[in-house]
Amino acid sequence: MANLLETWSLDREIVLVKLLDHPRDKVFAAWTNPKALAEWYGPSGLSIESHEADIREGGTWRFDMVGIFEGKEQRFPNLMRFLEIVPNERIVMDYGTPDPDDPERFRMTVTFDEQADGKTVLTMRQLHPSRERRQVVIGFGAVGYGLQTLDGLAAWLDA
């Protein structure tokens, strides 16, 4: 982990932040309960089809984001490998496709900061393999899609 911290670079990073009107333990649980995660995760207009959900350090979540585009169903395979889970504080994962040699895989760190008023500041940091890859994902809408995902989490928690 120390090696990653030494190579953390702002020109490879995307940071998204959301203030949620819920206590930290409830927000954290939404990330660690496989059924809940599949209900709210992903951009607007896409659903999640979960194939494997072992949400623990060393575990994986393999899922497809599924949507209809130009009248045809399209699937986007995803794989998260959970590297570190500190209850109510932090989740660190590698995120990419199920391809074990995925060159576009990135590190994602989600932190949960409880506020004095019982709300939680959720920060989602993505560290991409290169500055160029960061630019590509920003170009295809990763920031907007990430914010939609966090809005989905807020709506799920509010329900």
Digit-coded pLDDT (tens) for 52-97: 999 999 999 999 999 999 999 999 999 999 999 999 999 999 999 9
State the pTM of this model. Answer: 0.91
Q: In angstroms, what CA-CA distances link 82 with 1, 56, 59, 68? A: 13, 6, 6, 29
Digit-coded pLDDT (tens) for 20-41: 999 999 999 999 999 999 999 9
Q: List strands edge to edge, sheet with 90-96.
A: 13-20, 120-127, 106-114, 90-96, 72-86, 60-69, 47-53
Domains and CATH numbers, the chain: 2-158 (3.30.530.20)
